[in-house]
């Protein structure tokens, strides 16, 4: 049977004297019998996110590891600091042994590790990356058809907002730092409920789009009269204009109905405390909001910071903060690791477990939202006591719509962290053949986990 309608069809017409087009909901006839792909073969959208936590996990020079499984491939054992991932283990791949390679550049503590992972090059100075973070490349590839190209979230309750997403290497994204702020961003002014029967295009968006269109009309004339340098600047400018137009056009279309999209009530303001339980609660609340934001198609790309590289989190009642403990706690000779540091690392990972469980709790087709996500989680350091950038813990969570052969442990001692970054980019469909610079330049994704 040939379909007379397909999922790309828009209903076009006039509303209050204005031409509009309205998308059609995801009807069953558009989906295959398993509810995982559209009938024309296109898959449900894959979302991508980064998840960052500070201070690594426990794997010491004296041989005490608390997170690296001994078994590789499928069926890896749950190590003590990965206990929180048990419920979603089959959807999480673990990467051990990967390292940042400075090519002679000194290790900038609590910075070089994640800068290498995100930008592909060890930075020359603290506070800056030497290349854009790769999440921006993914956002360019898959983030243009939603209201927000990317959502940046910082659950750390740090003194200053924390974000490691950058297009310039100099300025970093401004994240939402409270559940209420995230709620307002996702579901506050400008949000269009896809399940509402009274949907109308927002006149303020239409006005903004018309202004941009007027600018666009003058583009050809401007470009023709400009020199080469100015043409490059104008091209960059109009590229951003086009992106904004796309975003606004998305909001002028009636959003697809979505059963799993439930608009949550606004959360209450939470107390500003970086205690480990507060940060965990913050992470859980913001993960829930993010999950709904994703399923309500507000964005397809996000960056989530649990704690900064120099984590400020602490156990209530203790005078030492977690960061301090990683440095000052001696290694227990019998155990081979720092017991309190390991305990705290386990608590920090509980928040990551909560985060994934929230995404896995949202049904989508025959699977869950997590099945249609790829979340790359990583830290700034391997062995935090000495700020090592060897063996930085990294995870890929979610099945990326079936592209990620999840649930494996990949061990590659001495390999560059950029191999995992490249793999993530390719799994979500970013047009990237290689990633990184110098010794971290790689064109070798981790094929074992790619379907």
Looking at the DSSP assignment, which residues form a beta bridge with residue 52? 305, 378
CA distance 215 to 425: 33
Are 89 and 360 in contact, with CB atoms under 8 Å apart? no
Instruction: Pick from 28, 40, 103, 448 the residue near another protein by CB under 8 A.
Output: 103
Are 45 and 301 in contact, with CB atoms under 8 Å apart? no
Instruction: Pick from 13, 61, 188, 203 the residue near another protein by CB under 8 A.
Output: 61
Nearer to another protein, 98 or 352 (CB): 98
CB-neighbour burial class of residue 381 (10 A; exposed 0-12, middle 13-18, buried 19+): buried
CA distance 379 to 55: 7
Cα dist. 178→195, 278, 279, 306, 381 in Å?
A: 26, 11, 10, 12, 26
Residue 37 engages another protein in binding (rule: CB under 8 A) = no
Q: Looking only at residues 132 through 191 of this chain, which bind another protein when binding is defined by CB under 8 A?
A: 158-159
Site string for another protein, 252-291 (x = CB under 8 A): ---------------------xxx----------------
Residue 340 engages another protein in binding (rule: CB under 8 A) = no
Q: Which region among 68-76, 104-112, 178-186, 220-228 touches another protein (by CB under 8 A)?
A: 104-112
Are 380 and 113 in contact, with CB atoms under 8 Å apart? yes
Nearer to another protein, 70 or 236 (CB): 70
CA distance 109 to 56: 12
CB-neighbour burial class of residue 395 (10 A; exposed 0-12, middle 13-18, buried 19+): buried
Nearer to another protein, 276 or 377 (CB): 276
Residue 314 engages another protein in binding (rule: CB under 8 A) = yes
Positive/negative CA dihedral, 100, 104, 107, 108 = negative
Nearer to another protein, 75 or 127 (CB): 127
Nearest to 144 by CA among 21, 290, 246: 246
Beta-sheet strand order (sheet of 47-52): 73-74, 408-411, 92-96, 394-397, 373-378, 47-52, 301-305, 151-154
What's the Rg (C-alpha) of the chain? Answer: 23
Instruction: Pick from 328, 366, 434, 443 the residue near another protein by CB under 8 A.
Output: 328
We find the least distance from the C-beta atom of residue 375 to another protein, in angstroms, to be 26
Residues 6+ apart with CB under 8 A from 195: 257, 258, 259, 261
Nearer to another protein, 24 or 386 (CB): 386
Maximum distance among all alpha carbons in the chain?
Answer: 78
Q: Which region among 7-15, 105-113, 174-182, 194-202 touches another protein (by CB under 8 A)?
A: 105-113
Nearer to another protein, 337 or 435 (CB): 337
CA distance 323 to 435: 31
Containing H/E element for 241?
Answer: helix 228-251
Residue 330 engages another protein in binding (rule: CB under 8 A) = yes
Instruction: Pick from 130, 202, 332, 340 the residue near another protein by CB under 8 A.
Output: 332
Q: Which two tokens stand for residue 187?
A: 């579901």
Task: Give the total of residues touching another protein (CB under 8 A).
Answer: 45
We find the least distance from the C-beta atom of residue 167 to another protein, in angstroms, to be 23
Residue 59 engages another protein in binding (rule: CB under 8 A) = no
Residue 441 engages another protein in binding (rule: CB under 8 A) = no
Nearer to another protein, 63 or 265 (CB): 63
Q: Looking only at residues 124 through 143 of this chain, which bind another protein when binding is defined by CB under 8 A?
A: 125-127
Instruction: Pick from 321, 356, 430, 440 the residue near another protein by CB under 8 A.
Output: 321
Residue 387 engages another protein in binding (rule: CB under 8 A) = yes
Residue 63 engages another protein in binding (rule: CB under 8 A) = no
Interacting residues toward another protein by CB under 8 A = 61-62, 99, 101-107, 125-127, 158-159, 273-275, 310-312, 314, 318-321, 323-324, 327-328, 330-334, 385-391, 413-415
């Amino acid at each position: 049977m040939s379909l007379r309608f397909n999922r790309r069809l828009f209903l076009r017409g006039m509303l209050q004297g204005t031409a509009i087009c309205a998308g059609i909901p995801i009807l069953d006839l558009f989906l295959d019998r398993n509810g995982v792909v559209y009938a024309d073969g296109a898959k449900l959208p894959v979302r991508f996110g980064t998840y960052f936590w500070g201070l690594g996990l426990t794997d010491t020079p004296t041989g005490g590891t608390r997170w690296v499984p001994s078994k590789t491939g499928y069926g890896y054992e749950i190590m003590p600091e990965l206990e929180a991932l048990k419920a979603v283990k089959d959807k999480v791949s673990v990467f051990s042994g990967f390292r940042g390679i400075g090519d002679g550049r000194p290790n900038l503590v609590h910075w070089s590790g994640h800068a290498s992972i995100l930008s592909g090059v060890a930075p020359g100075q603290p506070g800056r990356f030497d290349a854009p973070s790769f999440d921006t490349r993914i956002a360019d590839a898959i983030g243009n058809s939603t209201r927000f190209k990317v959502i940046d979230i910082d659950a750390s309750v740090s003194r200053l907002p924390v974000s490691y997403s950058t297009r310039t290497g100099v300025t970093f994204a401004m994240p939402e730092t409270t559940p209420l702020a995230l709620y307002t961003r996702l579901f506050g002014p400008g949000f269009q409920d896809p399940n509402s029967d009274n949907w109308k295009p927002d006149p303020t968006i239409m006005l903004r789009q018309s202004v941009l269109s007027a600018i666009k009309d003058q583009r050809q004339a401007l470009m023709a009269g400009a020199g080469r340098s100015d043409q490059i600047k104008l091209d960059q400018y109009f590229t951003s204009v086009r992106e904004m137009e796309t975003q606004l056009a998305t909001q002028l279309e009636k959003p697809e109905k979505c059963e799993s999209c439930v608009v949550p009530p606004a959360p209450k303001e939470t107390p500003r405390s970086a205690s480990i339980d507060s940060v965990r609660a913050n992470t859980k609340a913001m993960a829930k909001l993010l999950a709904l934001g994703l399923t309500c198609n507000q964005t397809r790309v996000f960056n989530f910071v649990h704690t900064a590289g120099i984590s400020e989190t602490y156990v209530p009642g203790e005078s030492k903060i977690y960061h301090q403990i990683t440095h000052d706690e001696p290694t227990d000779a019998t155990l081979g690791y720092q017991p309190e540091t390991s305990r705290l690392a386990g608590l920090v990972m509980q928040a990551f477990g909560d985060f994934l469980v929230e995404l896995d709790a949202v049904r989508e087709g025959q699977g869950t939202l997590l099945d249609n996500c790829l979340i790359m989680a990583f830290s700034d350091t391997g062995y935090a006591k000495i700020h090592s950038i060897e063996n930085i813990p990294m995870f890929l969570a979610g099945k990326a719509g079936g592209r990620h052969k999840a649930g494996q442990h990949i061990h590659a001692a001495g390999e560059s962290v950029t191999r995992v970054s490249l793999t993530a980019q390719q799994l979500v469909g970013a047009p990237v053949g290689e990633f990184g610079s110098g010794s971290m330049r790689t064109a070798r994704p981790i094929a074992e986990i790619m379907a």
